[in-house]
Structure 1
Amino acid sequence: MSTPFTDPFTAPQYHQAALITVDVQNDTLDGAPFEVPGTTAILPAIERLCRSFRDAGRPIVHVMRIYTPDGEDADRCRRSILRDGQSLFLKGSEGRRPADALLPDRDILIDDDLLMAGKIQKVGPEEVLIFKPRWGSFHRTPLEDHLKEKSVSTLVFCGCNYPNCPRTSIYQASEHDYRITVVVDAMSGIQARDIDELKNIGVNCAAVEDICELLMES
């Protein structure tokens, strides 16, 4: 069987690629209320990816969570803790901001109302924020229309806590027929068995430096 690198139907096309960062927000970093082990450690790798995509003029989409204290539009498994007062990606809080390493300008103001209305917030020439209300980045979001507008064929994923939102988003991307790369050293919570699983569905698994080099060559 052909590998994801050589199969003409799955091989990445980096000249038509977009970078997708998933849930790399302050509340997931070390010492935060929703600390996800390994997420702070991968910030330099994600920052490197973002710089490379900016330099190449390729699209970057930062997908993020925002909750309200009543948990009205949250995953069912999180509604109780939000109503009990847990500070988790709360609207207007520092915790819901993307980590500083991701953004082109650390003083960018987040427009919660715009994002929660299903709109896109532009934060750079080819860089945007998108809010997702559930695990997957395509569910009730403007992501698919945005990618079509940018003529994207390949999605490069990095982010926080692979078993939950990144994994769901990757499988949704596969269902939408995108070519997919997962940057394993820029993804927290990913294990060797996960990499094997991804390769079995035609996902290219690579390291940050490999992607940055391939992006420059494309």
Structure 2
Amino acid sequence: MGRYGDWVSTLEERLDPWIAPHLATSALLVVDTQRDFVDGGSSPIAGTTQVLPAIARLLEAYRSASRPIVHIVRLYAGDDVDLVRRSAIAAGARMASPGTAGSQIVPEFGVADLDPDLLLRGGLQQVSPTEVVLFKPRWSAFHRTDLESHLRERGVDTVVVAGCNYPNCPRATIVDASERDLRVLIAADAISGVDDRHLEEAGRIGAVHATAAEIAAALD
């Protein structure tokens, strides 16, 4: 990406106005940044530890702007597990197990301990006046959750997506956001597992991308 000023110019002069993100009416979605998925966790995802500073920069900007933040988490309990991981969980794999230290959001983000009972019931855990935690049972943050209604009630028309392992949960969330006519801005240096081909493919459904620094500066 170019300088912040170049990016703003691109938004104003080159992007289709129907897909250009509206940061003043945006929410930040932070996907699966739990201790088990970073270095030293039970199921580390390559590159996730490295993107934590960029995500922290976005969190700081959204907190300062009093814009909505949704931390989206996985909790593996019982039989309600995606097919590809059922064998591992049935064999005793400990991955984001409710109530464990590994299931918690990384300490760098300053989020309160999770309430697994509330989350598994589908509730939204309020952790600050503008910040909630939401449990998703599958890849997309919109699947069997109240995320869409939570965003609509707050006048959100744009989601900024950051977090863990683009090919799985962030990508599914981006597709489902697009299907709901939400504008999508990918924080390209704040998602593990993302590459240029992913960004090009996402662009075909109207998702645009920028760096965390550019997004934070534009929000400010």
Where does residue 4 of structure 2 map in the other structure? none
Which of 48, 57, 62 matches 2:71?
Answer: 62
SS class of match (1:41): helix
Is residue 143 of structure 1 aligned with residue 147 of structure 2?
yes
Displacement, 1:102?
A: 2.4
**Segment of structure 1 superposing worse, 30-39 or 4-13:** 4-13
Is residue 194 of structure 1 aligned with residue 203 of structure 2?
no
Where does residue 42 of structure 2 map in the other structure? 33
Do the aligned partners of 2:27 and 2:70 also contact (CA within 8 Å) in 1?
yes
- Name stretches of at least 5 consecutive residues in structure 2 with no aligned partner: 1-9
Looking at structure 1, the residues matched to 211 and 113 of structure 2 have their Cα atoms a distance apart, in angstroms, of: 31
- TM-score, normalised via structure 2 length: 0.92
Report how many aligned residue pairs link the two structures. 209
Is residue 158 of structure 1 aligned with residue 162 of structure 2?
yes
Looking at structure 1, the residues matched to 41 and 100 of structure 2 have their Cα atoms a distance apart, in angstroms, of: 12
User: Runs of at least 4 residues of structure 1 off by over 6 A?
Assistant: none
Looking at structure 2, the residues matched to 74 and 176 of structure 1 have their Cα atoms a distance apart, in angstroms, of: 25
Displacement, 1:21?
A: 0.4
Q: What is the letter of the counterpart of residue 9 of structure 1?
A: W
| Identity %, equivalent residues | 44
Where does residue 176 of structure 1 map in the other structure? 180
- Name stretches of at least 5 consecutive residues in structure 1 with no aligned partner: none
Displacement, 1:6?
A: 2.4
1:62-81 matches, within 5 Å, as: 62-68=71-77, 70=78, 72-81=79-88
Where does residue 87 of structure 1 map in the other structure? 94
Which of 98, 112, 115 matches 2:105?
Answer: 98
Where does residue 51 of structure 1 map in the other structure? 60
Is residue 16 of structure 1 aligned with residue 25 of structure 2?
yes
Deviation track 1:46-85 (CA, whole Å, cap 9, x = no partner) reads 01100100000100000000012x4x11101111111211
Q: What is the letter of the counterpart of residue 142 of structure 1?
A: D
Deviation track 1:99-148 (CA, whole Å, cap 9, x = no partner) reads 11223x4xx23110111111100001100000000001000111011001
CA RMSD of aligned residues (A): 1.2
Deviation track 1:164-209 (CA, whole Å, cap 9, x = no partner) reads 0100000000000000100010000001111111122211110011
Do the aligned partners of 2:104 and 2:113 also contact (CA within 8 Å) in 1?
no
Looking at structure 1, the residues matched to 145 and 154 of structure 2 have their Cα atoms a distance apart, in angstroms, of: 16
Deviation track 1:25-54 (CA, whole Å, cap 9, x = no partner) reads 100001222110100011111011001000
